[in-house]
Amino acid sequence: MGKILSIANQKGGVGKTTSSVNLSACLAQLGKKVLLVDTDPQGNATSGVGVNKADMDQCIYNVLVEDLPAEEVCVSSSVNNLDIIPATIQLAGAEIELVPTISREIRLKKALESLKDDYDFIIIDCPPSLGLLTINALTASDTVMIPVQCEYYALEGLSQLLNSIRLVQKHLNKDLMIEGVLLTMLDARTNLGIQVIEEVKKYFQDKVYQSIIPRNIRLGEAPSHGQPIITYDPKSRGAEVYLELAKEVMANGERVR
Ligand code: ADP
Ligand code: MG
């Protein structure tokens, strides 16, 4: 049975989508069967693995709001072993449309049940909010990965996220665990980066991944080519570190299960 892992942080621009796309692609390259689920109306994970949003007449919206089977919107990506359930801007309405519906928090969990056996990992890219889409992702997940950008106020806002995780554990998904905290966009030339690493490690201790994602121009460029870093520039530092992270996640996976 596949492990379901959400990548969540209500702050925008911390590296959720970059990490979702590149972790998924690296796990796939390492021979795992992976499904990426885009739950951000921006649809950047969708385009990031080479799927054209304009070609989609159905997406995760139809699954969550209209009960369309997830299999029917699942498509192959530009990467071997990696499928995606895409998101388009249509999903922007879901946050409000889901409010009056029955079992609104467990819709994604139910939708993924029929697919869980077909994959080793299901990675969910969350939107930058703690609304119903993120709650659906956390409710469907075995674990949550929290990306933290190496900048001033890195820990700001994390208490709200941790509180949402606790509420989901209490009411919706008692088995949800924190998979790990991922430090992103480290600029190794500054002292600030080192300070943030120390601060985050003091707080989260051994939950912090050894792999720390550097600020890397190639990682920023890859999405505009519809490719993850391991196909766009396999020799870049970004590709190396996301591969290391994928190995850590695989090792973690065996521990958690
Ligand atoms: P989020 O999904 O949390 O909003 P993104 O993954 O979309 O964040 O990243 C925000 C922006 O920063 C994007 O333009 C992305 O390409 C860029 N970016 C993310 N990680 C890196 C990195 N390690 N190095 C350089 N640019 C990055
Ligand atoms: Mg994003």
Taking only the tens place, the pLDDT of each residue in 146-161 is 999 999 888 888 999 9
**Sequence-distant (≥ 6) Cβ neighbours of residue 87 within 8 angstroms:** 38, 39, 40, 41, 42, 43, 45, 46, 53, 59, 60, 61
Pocket flag, ligand 1, residue 220 (CB < 6 Å): yes
- Please say whether the beta carbons of 64 and 134 come within 8 A: no
| Cα–Cα dist 158/208, whole Å | 14
- Among 21, 19, 3, 17, residue whose Cα is nearest residue 78: 21
3-256 classified as CATH 2.90.10.10 = no
The yes-or-no verdict on residue 254 having pLDDT over 80 is no
Model confidence pLDDT, tens digit, residues 188-198: 888 888 899 99
Mean model confidence pLDDT for the chain: 95
Report domain extents, the chain. Answer: 3-256
Q: Tell me the average pLDDT across 13-24.
A: 98
- Can you give the pLDDT at residue 188? 82
For 38-88, the pLDDT digits (tens) are 999 999 999 999 999 999 999 999 999 999 999 999 999 999 999 999 999
Atom of ligand 1 nearest to the CA of 223: 16
Cα–ligand 2 centroid distance for 13 (angstroms): 7
ipTM above 0.90, yes or no: yes
Token representation of residue 138? 């956390």
Stretch 118-134: mean pLDDT? 97
User: The sheet that has 121-125: what strands, in order across it?
Assistant: 75-76, 82-85, 34-38, 121-125, 3-7, 143-149, 177-184
